[in-house]
Amino acid sequence: MSKYQLYCMAESGNAYKAALALELAGCDWEPIFVDFFGGEARSDAFRKINEMGEVPVLVHGDVTITQSGVIQDYITEQTGKFGGKTAQERREVLRWILWDNHKLSSQAGMLRFLMNFLPEDKRPTAVFPFVKGRLQAAYAVLDTHLKGREWIAADHPTMADFSCCGYLYYPEPFGFDRKDWPNIDAWLDRIAALEGWKHPYDMMQRGFSA
């Protein structure tokens, strides 16, 4: 089978979820940089690859997949790695991926973008406290869930872990401080100790310049 190609950029936590899954699963893959900040993702040419105008996009032979959770599921399907070992575990992996996409990453990604990647005079600062409040609630759910547990959905790392951690290694401010959440902090260290782990800025090309 041909090499996996991931259309991505380092600043995208959703792209990182897919890249991390590929790397930890030992896949032969290459990142293809998409200049999101230069408008490439919204170009007619890119929309032929992904009509949604987003990264990540995974291309594997004649298969093209968008949305990080679906990409992660495909990697598990192809490699047999980081999925649930039972039907119950598979449902639990899916449950946490969907929770992350709706409650955690969607909020963290938006706030991080607004706080760091928009020109300062265009930042809608009035909405920041509201989004931070929603994020604090999500962090609390995750931190409580991880108390006494090593991994989110099973007794081994799964795609649920790689989904929920997607934005939590980034250095830019977005209402998250690891020291405030000891169970999340320890869990992030466990993920980072997995063979093949890399920080998103060491795995993909960055596109933003202040």
CA 188 to chain centre: 13
Same domain (yes/no): 9, 70: yes
**115 within a domain of the structure (yes/no):** yes
Same domain (yes/no): 62, 110: no
Same domain (yes/no): 72, 108: no
Same domain (yes/no): 112, 52: no
Same domain (yes/no): 93, 183: yes
* DSSP-based three-state secondary structure for 9: coil
How do residues 155-210 score in pLDDT, each as one tens digit? Answer: 999 999 999 999 999 999 999 999 999 999 999 999 999 999 999 999 999 999 75
Overall number of domains in the chain: 2
Phi–psi pair at 32, nearest 5 degrees? -115, 110
Q: What is the domain-level CATH number for residue 146?
A: 1.20.1050.10
Task: Tell me what pLDDT residue 210 has.
Answer: 56
- The model carries a pTM of 0.97
Find the domain containing 53 and state its range.
4-82+197-203
Same domain (yes/no): 164, 106: yes
